[in-house]
DNA sequence: GCGATCTGGATTTTT
DNA sequence: TCCAGATCGC
C-alpha cells in the first residue's frame, strides 16, 4: 500500500514523530506547529504501515471538541471509519470502562454522572444537614477539597489514617463532609467527574487480570495536551502501561507484549495548574518512561516578529524544557502597543482598529479580543453594540447547564433512577406544588434515619399517611408525573413527557419576563428535538445502556455548545484561557496591566507568575498577522477607579519588535520599566509630581517595590483627588 | 411562596 | 459596578 501521503506534507520533525519506531515517544509541540496533524497521521501510520488494529489504539484528549476533531480527521485521512478505535476524553473513556465493569468497580449498573453543579448542590445540602456554619465551610471550598483529594487518589479512609494534619477541627470537618458526600453519592448511585477516573484507577490497580487485559489490548496509547494531565490521569496512564515496573506484578507483565505511549504536549502552554494540572508530569514522563524526544518548533501560524516577541516573553520562565519557535515566513508588522488613558478609551481604540481592518477588506471574524478575566468583556460589548458591530462572546452558560434544561433533566433522571436524591431535591417543589421547607425537612429526616433515598422515604411515608393532606396530594401528583415519564418507551417521548408534564414552561412564564421565558421555552423545545434525534453511540449500546441512560450520561459529560454557532461574521471575544488552541489573523491582548495581567492574586502567591507568563505566551501565539497589546492607565474595578502600570510582560518584549501607537506618556512602556529614574527613591513624601492627565499633585504615601510599587498622590488640580498610581506614570517636579 | 431589600464578593474552566 | 445569595415582610 502506498503510504507516502502520510508523510509527504510533513516537515522533518513531524515526519520523525509520525514514523517513530516502536517505543515511547514524547513530542514537544510548540504553538501552531501542527500537533493535531502529527497525532492524526501517527494513528493512520500505525494502522496502515504497522497494521495495528484500530482496536488496539487508544487516543486521549482533554475536550470533547478535540476528540471529535481528531476522529473526523482520521476518517478523512484513512477514508474509512476506523471502528473500534477508542478516541475520547479521559472522562469519556473512564465512563465507558465503568459501564463495562460497573460491578467490578463497585457501582450499580444504573450509575449516573454528577456534574459540577450537581456536586456543588449536594455538598451544600450536606453542609446544611450537618448543621455546619456555611460561612465557615463554604460549599465551593469543600468541593475544591473533595475534588483535590480524589485527584490525589485519596479516599476518606486514606486521609483518616494519615495522622496529624487532620486532627485540626477544620480539616476534620472537611473530612466528615467528604465522608457524608461519598455516602450520599453511593446511596444515589452517583459518580462525580473525579470519581470516574478514581474508580478506574482503583479497578486497574486492584484487579491485575483486568489491568493485564487492557494493557494487552491497548498496544498504542496516544495522549494529547499532556501538560494538562493531573495526578490521577498520570496514574491511569501508568496503570495502562506495561512498562512501569512497580505497579505491575512480574508474573503478569512478562506475559504481555510491551505497549507504547505517544505523548504530545507543550510545557510552555500549561495554563491550568490552578485546577490540578501538573506540568511536572511531562518531566515525570521522561523519567518514568525514557521516551524518545521530538521537538516541533516550526510554526505555521504567526509572523517571525510575533514569534520572536513570544519567545522573548517565555524565556523569562525558568525550568522550561526549552523550545524556540521559528518560521520561514515573513517578519510581518511590529507588535503594536497602545497605552490608553482609560478602559473606555482602550475599547474604542481596539474597535477602531477592527473597523480599519474590515475597511481593508478583511472579515470581522478574523479579529479576536482576548482578555484575562470575563468582566473585561463588558466594555468591549458596549462599544461594539454602540457601533453596531456583530460579535460573539465565548464562555458563559452551555446548553446542558441551563437551569431549565437541568430542571427537565432532573425529571428524567428521577424517572430513570428513583434514588437520585439530587434530582429529587431539585424538582420536588419545582414548579412549586405547595411543599414547604417543613415537609421537605421531614422527608429528609426520615430518609436519613432509615438510610434510604428521598424517593423511598417519601413513598414509605405516603403509605403510612405520615404527611399532611396537602403535602400528600402534592407528592402524589409528583410521583405520578415521574411514573408517567418512566412509562414512555422511547427517549424522545419520555423527554417530551417530562417537559410537558412538569409544566416548566408555564412556570417560567409566570416567574420571569417574557423574553427570558421565551428563550427557556425554546431551549426546552430544543431539548426535545435533541432527544428525538439522539443517536446512541455504538459503544453505549454495546455496554448495555438504555438510550435514556446514555443520553443522561452524554449530557453530563458533554455540556454542549456555549452558544449556537450561528456562522455569522463577527468579532470574537474570549478569555486568554478559552483562546488556547485557536488562531486569528488579528489579535488584541487587552488589559495588559499589572494586577490584571499578571493577575494580582498570581503576583501575590509565590510561584504562580510563571503560569501567567505562559498564558501571555499562549495569547501572543494566537496571532497570525497582527498583534496588539493594549493597557489602560485607569479602569473601573469593583466600582472603584484603579490605576495600574503596564504589564511586566510588555516590558519583556524587546523594543525593536514593537511600535508604540501613542507616545502620550513620558516614556514607552519598556522605558518606564527600565528607567532608573522611576524608582521609589525618586519620590518622597510631600514631593510634587506631575501626571500627564491629572496634573500637579503631592505624594502622600509610598509603598512597594518594582512592578507593584504604588504611590498615593493628592491631585489638587483634579479637585483634590487621592489616587494610587504606579511610579512609572509620574514625573518628579523639582 | 414571592417580591423587595440587603449583603458580600468579584481570576481563569473542562469533564 | 454588578451579581448572586440570604433575609425579611406580607
Last residue of a domain, one of A298, A325, A348: A298
With respect to residue A675, please indicate whether it lies within any of the assigned structural domains: no
Its sign, for the CA torsion A366, A367, A373, A378, is negative
Residues A213 and A349 in one domain: no
> Phi and psi (nearest 5°) for A223?
-130, 130
DSSP state of A672: H
Q: What is the pLDDT of residue A113?
A: 94
Last residue of a domain, one of A168, A188, A208: A188
A103 noted as active-site residue: no
| Cα distance between residue A149 and residue A26, in whole Å | 29
- C-alpha cell, A42: 501517527
3-class state of residue A64 by DSSP = helix
| Cα distance between residue A509 and residue A511, in whole Å | 6
Average pLDDT, chain A: 87
Q: In angstroms, how far is CA A498 from the centroid of its own chain?
A: 31
A480 noted as active-site residue: no
Residues A133 and A26 in one domain: no
The CATH number given to whatever domain includes residue A128 is 1.10.10.160
Residues A99 and A238 in one domain: yes
Residues A123 and A216 in one domain: no
Span CA (A137) to C1' (C6), Å? 16
Q: In angstroms, how far is CA A690 from the centroid of its own chain?
A: 44
With respect to residue A547, please indicate whether it lies within any of the assigned structural domains: no
With respect to residue A648, please indicate whether it lies within any of the assigned structural domains: yes
With respect to residue A415, please indicate whether it lies within any of the assigned structural domains: no
- Please, how many CA atoms are within 13 Å of residue A372, restricted to the half-sphere of its CB? 24
- Strands (E) in A482-592, as ranges, are 571-575, 584-589
Residue numbers of chain A with a pLDDT score lower than 50:
245-246, 664-677, 706-708
| Burial class of A287 by CB neighbour count within 10 A (0 to 12, 13 to 18, 19+) | exposed
Distances (CA, A) of A631 to A94, A273, A590, A592, A727: 44, 26, 6, 5, 16
Q: Which residue has the cell 485540626?
A: A168
Residue numbers of the domain that contains A687: 680-732
Residues A130 and A224 in one domain: no
Distances (CA, A) of A154 to A92, A96, A408: 22, 23, 34
A224 noted as active-site residue: yes
A539 noted as active-site residue: no
| Cα distance between residue A489 and residue A493, in whole Å | 7
Cis omega (within 30 of 0) on the bond before A431?
A: yes
Residues A464 and A495 in one domain: yes
- C-alpha cell, A327: 518560521
Residues A283 and A425 in one domain: no
pLDDT digits (tens, 9 = 90+) for A133-162: 888 888 898 999 999 999 999 999 888 766
With respect to residue A551, please indicate whether it lies within any of the assigned structural domains: no
DSSP state of A110: T
Span CA (A613) to C1' (C8), Å? 48
Nearest nucleotide (C1') to alpha carbon of A134: C6
Residues A457 and A519 in one domain: yes
Nearest nucleotide (C1') to alpha carbon of A373: B11
User: Does A134 contact strand C, using a CB cutoff of 7 Å?
Assistant: yes
With respect to residue A716, please indicate whether it lies within any of the assigned structural domains: yes
Span CA (A424) to C1' (C9), Å? 30
Its sign, for the CA torsion A378, A383, A386, A387, is negative
Residues A117 and A238 in one domain: no
pLDDT digits (tens, 9 = 90+) for A644-681: 888 999 999 999 999 988 754 444 444 444 443 455 56
Nearest nucleotide (C1') to alpha carbon of A88: B15
Element (H, E) at A450: helix A437-450
Residues A87 and A208 in one domain: yes
User: Does A638 contact strand C, using a CB cutoff of 7 Å?
Assistant: yes
DSSP state of A334: P
| Cα distance between residue A89 and residue A690, in whole Å | 56
A173 noted as active-site residue: no
A492-518 as b/e: b if 16+ CB within 10 A? bebbbbbbbebebbebbbeeeeeeebe
With respect to residue A561, please indicate whether it lies within any of the assigned structural domains: no
A229 noted as active-site residue: no
pLDDT digits (tens, 9 = 90+) for A15-47: 999 999 989 999 999 999 999 999 999 999 999
**Number of separate domains in chain A:** 5
Residue nearest to nucleotide C1 (CA to C1'): A639
Residues A220 and A271 in one domain: yes
With respect to residue A548, please indicate whether it lies within any of the assigned structural domains: no
The CATH number given to whatever domain includes residue A10 is 3.40.50.300
The CATH number given to whatever domain includes residue A685 is 2.40.10
| Cα distance between residue A11 and residue A313, in whole Å | 26
Nearest nucleotide (C1') to alpha carbon of A615: B12
Q: What is the CA radius of gyration of chain A?
A: 29
| Cα distance between residue A549 and residue A371, in whole Å | 39
- Among the listed residues A35, A42, A580, A635, the single catalytic one is A35
Contact A355, A389 (CB under 8 A): yes
Last residue of a domain, one of A154, A188, A222: A188
User: Does A636 contact strand C, using a CB cutoff of 7 Å?
Assistant: yes
Strand B nucleotides within 7 Å of a protein CB: 1-3, 9-15
Distances (CA, A) of A130 to A123, A208, A306: 10, 39, 55
| Cα distance between residue A603 and residue A130, in whole Å | 37
Q: What is the pLDDT of residue A719?
A: 53
The CATH number given to whatever domain includes residue A512 is 1.10.486.10
- C-alpha cell, A607: 510561584
Residues A319 and A272 in one domain: no
Nearest nucleotide (C1') to alpha carbon of A116: B15
Strand C nucleotides within 7 Å of a protein CB: 1-2, 6
Amino acid at each position: 500500500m502506498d503510504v507516502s501521503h502520510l508523510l509527504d506534507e510533513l516537515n522533518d520533525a513531524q515526519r520523525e514523530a509520525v514514523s517513530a519506531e516502536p517505543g515511547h515517544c514524547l513530542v514537544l509541540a510548540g504553538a501552531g506547529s501542527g500537533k493535531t496533524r502529527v497525532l492524526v497521521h501517527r494513528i493512520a501510520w500505525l494502522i496502515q504501515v504497522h497494521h495495528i488494529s484500530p482496536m488496539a489504539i487508544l487516543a486521549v484528549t482533554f475536550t470533547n471538541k478535540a476528540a471529535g476533531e481528531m476522529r473526523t480527521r482520521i476518517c478523512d485521512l484513512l477514508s474509512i471509519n476506523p471502528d473500534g478505535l477508542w478516541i475520547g476524553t479521559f472522562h469519556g473513556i473512564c465512563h465507558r470502562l465503568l459501564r463495562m465493569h460497573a460491578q467490578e468497580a463497585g457501582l450499580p449498573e444504573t450509575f449516573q454522572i454528577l456534574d459540577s453543579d450537581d456536586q456543588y448542590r449536594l455538598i451544600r445540602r450536606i453542609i446544611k444537614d450537618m448543621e455546619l456554619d456555611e460561612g465557615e465551610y463554604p460549599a465551593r471550598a469543600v468541593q475544591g477539597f473533595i475534588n483535590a483529594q480524589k485527584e490525589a487518589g485519596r479516599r476518606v479512609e486514606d486521609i483518616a489514617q494519615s495522622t496529624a494534619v487532620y486532627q485540626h477541627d477544620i480539616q476534620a470537618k472537611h473530612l466528615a463532609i467528604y465522608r457524608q458526600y461519598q455516602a450520599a453519592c453511593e446511596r444515589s448511585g452517583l459518580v462525580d467527574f473525579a470519581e470516574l477516573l478514581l474508580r478506574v484507577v482503583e479497578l486497574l490497580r486492584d484487579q491485575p487480570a483486568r489491568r493485564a487485559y487492557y494493557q494487552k489490548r491497548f498496544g498504542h496509547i496516544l495522549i494529547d495536551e499532556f501538560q494538562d494531565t493531573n495526578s490521577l490521569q498520570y496514574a491511569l496512564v501508568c496503570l495502562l502501561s506495561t512498562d512501569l515496573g512497580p505497579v505491575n506484578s512480574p508474573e503478569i507483565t512478562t506475559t504481555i507484549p510491551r505497549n507504547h505511549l505517544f505523548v504530545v504536549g507543550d510545557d510552555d502552554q500549561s495554563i491550568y495548574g490552578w485546577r490540578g494540572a501538573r506540568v511536572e508530569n511531562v518531566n515525570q514522563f521522561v523519567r518514568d518512561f525514557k521516551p524518545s524526544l521530538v521537538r516541533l518548533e516550526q510554526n505555521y501560524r504567526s509572523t517571525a516578529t510575533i514569534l520572536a516577541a513570544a519567545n522573548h516573553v517565555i524565556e523569562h520562565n525558568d525550568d522550561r524544557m526549552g523550545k524556540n519557535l521559528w518560521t520561514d515566513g515573513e517578519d510581518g508588522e511590529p507588535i503594536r502597543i497602545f497605552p490608553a488613558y482609560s478602559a473606555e478609551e482602550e475599547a474604542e481604540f481596539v474597535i477602531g482598529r477592527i473597523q480599519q481592518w474590515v475597511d481593508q477588506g478583511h472579515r470581522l471574524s478574523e479579529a479576536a479580543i482576548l482578555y484575562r478575566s470575563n468582566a473585561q468583556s463588558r466594555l468591549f460589548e458596549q462599544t461594539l453594540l454602540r457601533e453596531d458591530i456583530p460579535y460573539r462572546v465565548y464562555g458563559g452558560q452551555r446548553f446542558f447547564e441551563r437551569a431549565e434544561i437541568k430542571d427537565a433533566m432532573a425529571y428524567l433522571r428521577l424517572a430513570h433512577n428513583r434514588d437520585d436524591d439530587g434530582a429529587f431535591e431539585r424538582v420536588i417543589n419545582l414548579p412549586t406544588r405547595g411543599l414547604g421547607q417543613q415537609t421537605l425537612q421531614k422527608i429528609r429526616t426520615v430518609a436519613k434515619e432509615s438510610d434510604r433515598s428521598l424517593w423511598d422515604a417519601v413513598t414509605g411515608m405516603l403509605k403510612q399517611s405520615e404527611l399532611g393532606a396537602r403535602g400528600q396530594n402534592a407528592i402524589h401528583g409528583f410521583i405520578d408525573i415521574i411514573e408517567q415519564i418512566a412509562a414512555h418507551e422511547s427517549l424522545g417521548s419520555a423527554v417530551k413527557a417530562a417537559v410537558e408534564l412538569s409544566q416548566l414552561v408555564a412556570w417560567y412564564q409566570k416567574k420571569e419576563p417574557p423574553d427570558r421565558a421565551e428563550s427557556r421555552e425554546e431551549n426546552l423545545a430544543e431539548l426535545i428535538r435533541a432527544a428525538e434525534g439522539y443517536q446512541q453511540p455504538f459503544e453505549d449500546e454495546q455496554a448495555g445502556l438504555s438510550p435514556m441512560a446514555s443520553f443522561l450520561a452524554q449530557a453530563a459529560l458533554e455540556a454542549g455548545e456555549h452558544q449556537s454557532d450561528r456562522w455569522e461574521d463577527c468579532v470574537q471575544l474570549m478569555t486568554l484561557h478559552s483562546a488556547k488552541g485557536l488562531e486569528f489573523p488579528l489579535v488584541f491582548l487587552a488589559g495588559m496591566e499589572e494586577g490584571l495581567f499578571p493577575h494580582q492574586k498570581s503576583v501575590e502567591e509565590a510561584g504562580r507568575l510563571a503560569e501567567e507568563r505562559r498564558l501571555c505566551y499562549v495569547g501572543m501565539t494566537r496571532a497570525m498577522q497582527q498583534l496588539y497589546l493594549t493597557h489602560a492607565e485607569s479602569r473601573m474595578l469593583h466600582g472603584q477607579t484603579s490605576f495600574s502600570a503596564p504589564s511586566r510582560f510588555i516590558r519583556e518584549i524587546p523594543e525593536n519588535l514593537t511600535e508604540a501607537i501613542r507616545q502620550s506618556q513620558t516614556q514607552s512602556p519598556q522605558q518606564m520599566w527600565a528607567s532608573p529614574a522611576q524608582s521609589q527613591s525618586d519620590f518622597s513624601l510631600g514631593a510634587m509630581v506631575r501626571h500627564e492627565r491629572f496634573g500637579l499633585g503631592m505624594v502622600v504615601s509610598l509603598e512597594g517595590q518594582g512592578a507593584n510599587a504604588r504611590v498615593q498622590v493628592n491631585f489638587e488640580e483634579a479637585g483634590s483627588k487621592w489616587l494610587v498610581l504606579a511610579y512609572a506614570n509620574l514625573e518628579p517636579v523639582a
